[in-house]
Amino acid sequence: MIKKGDNVIVISGKEKGKKGAVARVLRSRQAVIIEGLNLSKRHQKPRKAGQKGQVVEKAMPIHISNVALVEGGKAVRSGKKLVGERWVRVSRKTGKEI
């Protein structure tokens, strides 16, 4: 499970190999928005009279299957483990808490 603020690596697509932090999770679309990755240019109309329109770069969603959590610079899968009375996310590779 990937949450907001997690460090992830893109494992496929045009941004493959790039790392970043998750800015937003779109659960209904099963996608994530990663800061500074998958940028697209969007034209913005002027908001006020006398102001010029502009082209802004906006981070677009990436499907959740194309990203993986990062631990120690490498991609890892995550699992759940019961610690005391609460469940925590752990790395499937090392068993450490994420």
DSSP 37: S
Total-model pTM:
0.82
Examine the pLDDT at 97 and tell me if it is beyond 90: no
pLDDT at 27: 94
Tokens of 72: 């120690």
Q: Domain 7-48+55-91 - what CATH class?
A: mainly beta
Query: What are the tens digits of pLDDT across the range 32-74?
Result: 999 999 999 999 999 889 899 999 999 999 999 999 999 988 8
SS3 assignment for 55-84: EEEEECCEEHHHEEEEECCEEECEEEEEEC
Sequence spans of domains, the chain: 7-48+55-91
> Do residues 6 and 69 make contact, with C-beta atoms less than 8 angstroms apart?
yes
Q: Percent of the chain beyond pLDDT 90?
A: 79
**Strands 19-26 and 54-59, how do they pair?**
unpaired
